[in-house]
Chains A and B, each alone.
Chain A
Amino acid sequence: MAEPISRAEVEATARLARILLSEEEIAGFTSQLGSILAYMETLNELDTTDVEPLAHVLPLKNVLRPDEVRPSIGADLAVREAPDATNGFFRVPKVLGEGGGA
């Protein structure tokens, strides 16, 4: 069987997660993630042809709330635990690019 995850895939995943890994960590994660994925492969032995994909583990659906305003906590409390704040704004390192592209 081929390696479940390649070194390049671990590097790409780290880049997407915006984390910096050392050479040793990349090697370590490649082997650790590899054994986890190999273990998960066991599941593929099951025949799931007629099974609906599961979106949620709870047997719940249709949970809604009415569109009624509830009190917010206020700007002072909102920013109080932040590492840095000014005039009710969160103050963060300079964002490069636009952001807000939701």
Chain B
Amino acid sequence: MTLPPGVKATLVVGLEIHVQLRTATKLFCGCEVRFGAPPNSLTCPVCLGHPGTLPVMNREALRCAVKTAMALGCRVLPRTKWDRKSYWYPDLPKNYQISQYDLPVGLEGAIEIPRGDGTAKTVRIRRVHLEEDAGKNLHDDPEVTLVDLNRTGTPLLEIVTEPDIASAEEAGALARELQRIVRYMGVADADMQKGHMRFEPNINCIIEKDGAEARTPIVEVKNLNSFKALEAAVAFEFERQAAAYLADPAYTIERCGKENRGWDDAALRTLVQRHKEEAHEYRYFPDPDLVPYEWTAEELGELAREAPELPQARRRRLARELGIGEGDALLIVEDRATGDLFEAAVAAGTCPKTLAKHFINIWTRLANDAGVAIAGLGLGAGALAELARIQADGTVSATAAQQIAEAMAKSPEPPRALAARMGLLQLSDRAAILPFVKDAIAANAKAAADYRAGGKKSAKSLGFLQGQAMRLSGGRANPAVIAALLKEELGPPAG
């Protein structure tokens, strides 16, 4: 962003994230949770909001919520309860949303966002609570609104961060890390295409100008449903708010308070929306239809023991135990099954660093081409381990390993057999390679002389001769053995 000289703008962002939990049924009734069913086919008197019906809490949703709160380092409240929050749209026909106000599932946690260079940024989590989703209002018809209540009552976990995020990239990185965490935990599919994760950033700026400090109004951008939209909306608001303040110094939080804006995904800009109701105007009060839940220490201990190793811990461990860079580890632990496959291959006996390179350079590409995760390629840990092993010990070259990998995706043959059949076994035998080296020297007397003369041309000439010997071998000779033999045959350069 270009600012006038002497002006400094700092971005301040907090995130509210809704994650749809992976349960078979809705939060308070036995209706199935399923995407894409015919309108209103997954409804019952409870989720339709009929008078006289009684909601009953879904045990699995509550357990998923607590497990996630624990994974985010939250203090799990020993007693949690449900409250009604006033709501005025037909996609929640009760006229209120069942949510949690003063006794949420968890409070005061933190999430670490990897930066990719081994360092991480910590963002504090304010609270984690459960609530029911609304249905869908369809606005296609200019005269009426059509309402589908299939989604009404779907369990959502709302995660609220403190305003510790300082850039659009950090906002995106946090969202992606949270997606990995809930998938590792198995508490959510977090499928963006199905609207399983939705973001509402609260954004403002601190502007320093002429030794004074001003804060722009806090803008909440509603219902962003992709990482890209989240990043773009935060970046757009940063520019817009700074420019708005510089154009009009009355554009401050003191004068303008809070503002709600929507996101136009086509125009890539935010638009003014209705004014935010003050918190107390939601008129929260305890839901008389639902009773509180009190955890025993045994229950909480059992849920804590169910927690898997989370992506950040796994990255650190791989970096520490195997010497894999944290940037590389980031990709390897992207999803739990791929991380498991990597570790199984390491356990089968291989060179972990070569294996890591294969994951990053070869397997990721093949998986992307096939539209799956690496674990979805259907390859066994033993085969992956063998390919890395035969490259590391010089049986095949790095280039040959790529070709073998492509063949492995289509054939059940083990890598070594494939290499033999495809004529990709690398020659490492000195006696076998020596004739190529001798022929290369004989056919290129000038290059040999240039090398022996030393000086500037020396290294270049050696490289040339190496290439010639490699060509004579049909590309099969081990380059390290060629280099060693060339040096022996040519003798040391002058100087």
Contacts and interface: CB of A to CB of B under 8 A. Distances in A.
A66 B91 contact: no
A73 B291 contact: no
Given A70-B25, A89-B147, A102 B41 contact: no
A94 B144 contact: yes
A84 B494 CA distance: 97
B25 A67 contact: yes
A71 B30 CA distance: 7
B40 A91 contact: no
Interface residues of B, number: 65
B281 A16 contact: yes
Interface residues of A, number: 41
Contacts of A87: 39
Interface string B44-56: 1100100000001
B281 A99 contact: no
Interface in A45-102: 55-58, 60-75, 78-79, 84, 86-95, 97-102
What DSSP secondary structure best describes chain B's contact surface? loop
B67 to A, nearest CB: 14
B60 A97 contact: no
Most buried by B among A65, A68, A99: A99
Contacts, number: 155
B39 A75 contact: yes
A72 B89 contact: no
Contacts of B48: 78
B397 to A, nearest CB: 53
A57 B287 CA distance: 11
Interface in B21-66: 23-25, 29-32, 38-45, 48, 56-62
Contacts of B42: 72
Contacts of A16: 86, 281, 283
Interface of A: 16, 18, 55-58, 60-75, 78-79, 84, 86-95, 97-102
15 contacts: A55-B292, A57-B288, A63-B290, A63-B291, A65-B59, A67-B60, A73-B44, A90-B146, A90-B149, A92-B146, A99-B90, A99-B91, A100-B91, A100-B134, A101-B223
Interface of B: 23-25, 29-32, 38-45, 48, 56-62, 81, 86-92, 97, 103, 131-139, 142-149, 156, 222-223, 262, 273-274, 281, 283, 286, 288, 290-294
